Structure formats: C-alpha cells, structure tokens
Amino acid sequence: MKNRRYAEREFAYSEYYSCHRVFTRDDRHVGKSPILMVRTGGWKLNYQSWSRSELFDLRKDPDEFRNCIDDCGNAGIAKELTAIAQRMFAV
C-alpha cells in the first residue's frame, strides 16, 4: 500500500483461553493454561501443556480431522512448532 514489498510471515500464533460452558459442557478445561496455536505453511499445532497436543497437515487434511502428532515422520515439525508456541507464550 505504501510501495512496500509484502513479507510473508514465518508463522501465525494465537492463544485460546477456555470459558465456562464454551469449550466443553463439563468445564474440564476451565482454569488450565491456554491452548496455543501455531501455523506455518501447511501445518497447524494446537499445543496443550496439560494434555496431548494436536498436529494437522492442512494440505492433506484441511478440515483438521486427523491428528498426526504421533506419526514418526512428523516429530521434527511437531518439535519446531512446539518450540515456537512455548517461546511466544513466554513473551
């Protein structure tokens, strides 16, 4: 807009804090640390320090039906996105 070149972001990051009766009917996540989301290219990580995280390959699974966090070929990407989530939350 000001004759500047577009610089693609390295990642997108967000935090989700559970609210009463919003995330689950029994409020089992209320009061816990937030869910941290990191997205890079075709990958999305929902990091939960208190539970199993979720990793989605958005190119193959754009609707996020299959958590591929335990696929041995994805260990590197899961570790990289987890490090970003932890670094951003500490800021």
CATH code of the domain containing 35: 3.30.1120.10
Q: Quote the CA–CA distance of 5 and 77 in Å, as a whole number.
A: 28
Q: Quote the CA–CA distance of 12 and 39 in Å, as a whole number.
A: 5
Domains identified in the chain, total number? 1
| Residue 81, in any domain of the structure | yes
| Residue 5, in any domain of the structure | no
User: Which of the 8 DSSP states describes residue 85?
Assistant: H
| Residue 86, in any domain of the structure | yes
Domain residue limits at 49: 12-90
Going residue by residue through the chain, which has 91 residues, state the pLDDT in tens, using 9 for 90 and above: 677 777 778 899 999 877 656 666 666 666 667 889 999 989 999 998 888 899 999 999 999 999 999 999 999 999 999 999 999 997 6
| Residue 16, in any domain of the structure | yes
Which pTM was predicted? 0.78
| Residue 1, in any domain of the structure | no
| Residue 73, in any domain of the structure | yes
